[in-house]
Amino acid sequence: MTGKLPLIVVSHRKRMFLETALNSLRVFSRGLREPVIVDDSGSSAHRAWLAQRGYKVASVGQDNEGYLSAMNKVWEVAYDLTPRSDYVFLWEEDFTLTRPLNVGLMAGVMDEHYDLAQLNVQRQPVYGVERRHGFIASHGVRGYGISKHRTGGVPWVRRDRPFTTNPCLLRSSVLDVPWPTREEADQCDGGAEPAMSLKLEPNYAFGWFGAADVPHSRHIGSNLKTGTGY
C-alpha cells in the first residue's frame, strides 16, 4: 500500500460522541486521510459546526434518517473515494481508538488474503457472552469459525462470519455489493447489517486486526440499539 487511505466517520448524534472519536483518531491512527463525516444528525446547525472546523460533510438527509439510510450514504461516499484505493477505513462515532493503530499494516494483511472483506478493530468485551468467554473466544462459542494467524509477522484473527459495520478497514470491492434495501433488511432478523452479511458470506471471509483480545478501541455508546432505521 502506498499513500494514505480514505476515512469515513458515521455520525448520528451530533457532538455527543463525535469529538471524542475524532480526537482519538487524530492521536492514535497512522495512514489515514482527513475524515469525511457522513452526518445523519438532521441538524443544519451541526453541519455548519462541522464545516466551520474544516471537515468534509456528506449529509444523509434533512432529518435523522437512521442506520440503513446512513449506510447507503456511506456506500455512496466510499465508492467515490476509492477509484484509486483498494480500501476505505470506516469508523463509527461511538468508538474511540485507545492505542496506536497503523492502518498500513492492516492493508498489508488484506493484500495477502484476497477473500477478506474487512479487518475490524477489536473492542472491549461488552455483551454477557463476551465477558464470560472473552471477546474473540465468544465468537467461536457462537459458531462463527475463528482461527488465529500471522501475516508478515502481523497477528490477526479470521472469522467465517459475520460482517459488521463496527470500525474496520473495508475492501473497496465490497462496495460493489449494494447495501440492503428496506425490504431486505425487514426480512432479516436484526435488520440491515445481518442482511448485508448474508450477501457477503458466500464470497468473503472477515477478521480482526491484532492479537486476540488485545483491543485497539473502546465502545463508548450504549450496549443496546438506540438509533433508528436498522
What domains, with CATH codes, occur in the chain? 7-219 (3.90.550.10)
Residue 225's pLDDT band (cuts 50, 70, 90): low
The more confident residue out of 229 and 202 is 202
Segment 51-55 shows an average pLDDT of 92
Q: What local confidence, expressed as pLDDT, does residue 2 receive?
A: 58
Answer yes or no: are the C-beta atoms of 82 and 7 closer than 8 Å.
no
Predicted confidence (pLDDT) per residue in 108-127, tens digit: 999 999 999 999 999 999 99
Place of cell 484476497: 114
Q: Is 214 helix (H, G, I), strand (E, B) or coil?
A: coil
CB-based contacts of 93: which residues, under 8 Å, 6+ apart? Answer: 9, 10, 11, 12, 13, 16, 17, 18, 21, 221
Mean pLDDT over 172-197 rounds to 94
Read off the pLDDT of each residue in 184-212 and give the average, rounded to a whole number: 95
Residue 82 confidence class, pLDDT cut points 50, 70, 90? confident
Instruction: Tell me: pLDDT of 1 over 60.
Output: no
**Rounded CA separation 56/37 (Å):** 6
DSSP 169: E
Q: What are the tens digits of pLDDT across the range 132-184?
A: 999 999 999 999 999 999 999 999 999 999 999 999 999 999 999 999 999 99
| CA 7 distance to own-chain centroid | 10
